[in-house]
């Protein structure tokens, strides 16, 4: 018999289970596109008061001087990789905060594509006040609800822009976007023109960070950061400290030079310059190597260190490792692999570089290479929980379930507080048929993180397999509440609704799942089953024919078509479909029963 098919026999993890059920020719392309498609769909439904020009399609161009606010999520790629559905929900809530304050200060939302926000204001003061109040509101929200944590960087510029069809073009927009990239997480960075407009009109303090060479901006831009926390408001900003020390140091040198001590003057200038350079190197080294530093800052710091000619090979290997690790964490796997290859060329026995490269290969779905690197990482550092975790997940992808459980169990032994470890071991236990073990692990994952949607989804699927339909519906509903973009949870609940006799609700869930994951043969088959049970045979046949046009060998779809054909009294065709389904997956109970009914009553 072939691989088992159908919801009840699939693993609880979306990616692996669907990979087993989509036709080979579409699997890779569908899953590379699914995350971006979800993000694009997420932005389509936003209600952010589009300019009337969008509706009137006015092609006229208007030139004006405005203040531009640009904002972006800190570490968005990492957040999406960790939990895409939850991240999109958090982003929606943060967008609502931005929209509220933008409108309060008389601004206009220009765009909210992806994780970015662009708005215009008639005055710089309104833009800065909006930015400060928004950041303060988000900071309070993050403190009150750590599980909903999300940071933004904001950049503000002022200048001449062109408006066409409600969109803005020009240097003012580009500079604001680049300024936000250099703002601290949760902070605000403004241009000199904005600073001059607000410096004497607001009590807010600003730190002068000097001339900045911004990406794709030909001229340097003088930038300032706003002091938003109490330490900075007292004038103790770390960004200000170096310039203050240098001013006083230079003043001391001038005084001593005035007293005629020329030699000391020359020595002190050199010493100050060397100390400043050393301080920058030390600061970069700290950012490059500390795990809790924002990944964009870490990448920039490592890049500056790699540009120094004086770095030795040991330091260079470490910088490549840390930059590769930051790129890996950010989700830039191709760039990460380039750095990690170089790091391992310079230091072939780096456990950390081996781990990062193994993880990058895992996400690139090159599981054999992932296993090889992770094995080396564990040989060099046997107590690394994350290496054990990725080894377990890689082995699972290769179908080596017993070994996968062994490594995931070791990961849990090294860190019993990581809900992901329990969730993925539960997925493997489910695949092995150990339903009580899977339920126990999902329970623990949920205990550690009561908002962990994938664990509720997995537990719901196991309970559906155990025929605990109402409990399955409760778990899958909770998964949907926590992750509105979780198409698999909706598909699973649709199957559960059919088993509960709630056919209209089942069809509604499958329709929503199709909106989130278009052209899925699996979901079309699920909706066809709901329509069949609701005696809507024409609609059911339409869905099942479309499903089989996408994947002609999907056994659950062949089974459903057999049941539809049986209901239409086309019994010979039904027998053919039931037999084909069982040849692919002999465990499908509905196909077994259908074939038994028809053969028992033959000839018809």
Low-confidence ranges of the chain (pLDDT < 50): 1-59, 230-267, 269-270, 272-274, 276
Give the span between the Cα atoms of 483 and 91, in whole angstroms: 12
The pLDDT value given to residue 404: 97
Domain regions of the chain by residue span:
61-239, 245-274
Angle separating helix axes 351-363 and 313-330, nearest 10 degrees: 30
Give the span between the Cα atoms of 138 and 160, in whole angstroms: 30
Q: Is 209 helix (H, G, I), strand (E, B) or coil?
A: strand
The pLDDT value given to residue 275: 53
Give the span between the Cα atoms of 542 and 547, in whole angstroms: 9
Radius of gyration of the chain (CA): 29
Distance of CA 424 to the CA centre of its chain: 18
The β-bridge partners of 225 are 189, 207
| Domain 61-239 is found in CATH 3.30.70.1230 | yes
The pLDDT value given to residue 172: 85
The pLDDT value given to residue 9: 36
pTM: 0.58
Kindly report the CA angle at 519 between 513 and 523, in degrees rounded to 5?
Answer: 40
Structure tokens belonging to residue 309: 């000619």
How far CA 345 is from CA of 289, 359, 375, 457, in Å, comes to 19, 18, 17, 42
For the stretch 261-271, pLDDT in tens is 444 444 454 45
The β-bridge partners of 161 are 64
Structure tokens belonging to residue 156: 């503000």
Among the residues of 202-312, which ranges form H helices? 230-233, 241-258, 262-289, 295-306
Dihedral-angle region of residue 225 (phi above 0 means left; psi in -120 to 50 means alpha; beta otherwise) = beta
Q: How many CA atoms lie within 13 A of 526 on its CB side?
A: 32
Give the span between the Cα atoms of 527 and 7, in whole angstroms: 13
The pLDDT value given to residue 126: 93
Give every CB contact of residue 317 below 8 A, 6+ residues apart in sequence: 342, 343, 346, 347, 350, 353
Give the span between the Cα atoms of 37 and 411, in whole angstroms: 33
| Beta-strand pair 188-191/152-164 | parallel
Element at 156 (helix H, strand E): strand 152-164
Contacts for 412-417 with beta carbons within 8 Å, 24 or more apart? 414/383, 414/384, 414/385, 414/388, 415/385, 417/448
Give the span between the Cα atoms of 378 and 351, in whole angstroms: 7
Kindly report the CA angle at 375 between 371 and 376, in degrees rounded to 5?
Answer: 125
The pLDDT value given to residue 18: 36
Distance of CA 448 to the CA centre of its chain: 21
Structure tokens belonging to residue 356: 């990062």
For the stretch 421-443, pLDDT in tens is 999 999 999 999 999 999 999 99
Q: Rounded to a whole number, what is the distance in angstroms from the first to the last CA of the chain?
A: 29
Entry field: residues in the chain: 604
């Amino acid at each position: 018999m072939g691989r088992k098919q159908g919801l009840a026999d699939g693993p609880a993890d979306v990616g692996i289970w669907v990979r087993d059920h989509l036709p080979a020719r579409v699997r890779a392309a569908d899953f590379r596109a699914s995350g971006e498609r979800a993000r694009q769909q997420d932005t389509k439904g936003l209600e952010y008061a589009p300019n009337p020009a969008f509706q009137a399609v006015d092609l006229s161009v208007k030139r004006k001087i405005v203040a531009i606010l640009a904002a972006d999520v800190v570490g968005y790629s990492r957040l999406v990789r960790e939990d895409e559905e939850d991240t999109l929900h958090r982003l929606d809530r943060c967008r609502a905060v931005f929209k509220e304050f933008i409108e309060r200060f008389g601004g206009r939302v220009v765009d909210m594509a992806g994780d970015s926000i662009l708005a215009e204001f008639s005055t710089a003061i309104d833009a800065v006040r909006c930015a400060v109040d928004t950041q303060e509101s988000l900071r309070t929200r993050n403190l009150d609800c750590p599980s909903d944590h999300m940071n933004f960087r904001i950049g503000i510029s002022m200048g001449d822009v062109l408006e066409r069809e409600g969109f803005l073009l020009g240097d003012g927009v580009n500079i604001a976007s680049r300024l936000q990239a250099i703002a601290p997480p949760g902070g605000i960075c403004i241009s000199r023109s904005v600073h001059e407009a607000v410096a004497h009109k607001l009590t807010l303090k600003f730190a002068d960070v000097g001339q900045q060479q911004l990406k794709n901006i030909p001229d340097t831009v003088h930038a300032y950061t706003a002091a938003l926390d109490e330490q900075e408001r007292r004038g103790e900003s770390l960004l200000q400290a170096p310039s203050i020390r240098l001013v006083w140091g230079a003043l001391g040198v001038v005084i001593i030079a005035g007293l005629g001590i020329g030699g000391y003057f020359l020595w002190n200038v050199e010493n100050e310059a060397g100390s400043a350079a050393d301080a920058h190197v030390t600061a970069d080294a700290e950012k490059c190597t500390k795990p809790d530093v924002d990944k964009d800052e870490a990448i920039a710091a490592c890049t500056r260190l790699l540009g120094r000619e004086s770095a030795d090979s040991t330091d260079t290997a470490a910088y490549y490792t840390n930059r590769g690790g930051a790129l890996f964490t950010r989700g830039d796997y191709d760039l990460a692999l380039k750095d990690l290859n170089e790091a391992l060329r310079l230091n072939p026995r780096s456990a950390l570089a081996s781990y990062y490269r193994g993880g990058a290969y895992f996400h690139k779905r090159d599981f054999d290479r992932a296993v090889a690197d992770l094995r080396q990482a564990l040989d060099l550092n046997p107590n690394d929980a994350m290496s054990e975790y990725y080894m377990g997940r890689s082995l699972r992808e290769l179908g080596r379930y017993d070994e996968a459980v062994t490594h995931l169990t070791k990961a849990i032994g090294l860190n019993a507080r990581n809900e992901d470890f329990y969730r993925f071991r539960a997925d493997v236990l489910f695949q092995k048929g150990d339903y009580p073990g899977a339920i126990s692990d999902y329970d623990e994952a949920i205990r550690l993180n009561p908002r962990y949607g994938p664990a509720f989804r997995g537990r719901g699927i196991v309970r559906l397999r155990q025929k605990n339909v109402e409990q399955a519906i409760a778990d899958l509903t909770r998964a949907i509440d926590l992750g509105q973009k979780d198409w698999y949870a909706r598909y699973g609940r649709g199957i559960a609704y059919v088993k509960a006799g709630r056919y209209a609700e089942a069809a509604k869930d499958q329709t929503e799942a199709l909106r989130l994951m278009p052209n899925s043969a699996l979901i079309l088959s699920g909706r066809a089953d709901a329509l069949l049970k609701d005696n809507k045979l024409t609609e059911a046949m339409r869905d099942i024919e479309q499903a089989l046009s996408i994947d002609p060998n999907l056994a659950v779809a062949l089974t459903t078509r057999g049941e539809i054909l049986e209901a239409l009294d086309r019994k010979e065709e039904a027998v053919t479909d039931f037999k084909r389904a069982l040849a692919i997956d002999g465990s499908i109970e509905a196909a077994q029963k259908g074939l038994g009914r028809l053969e028992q009553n033959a000839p018809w």
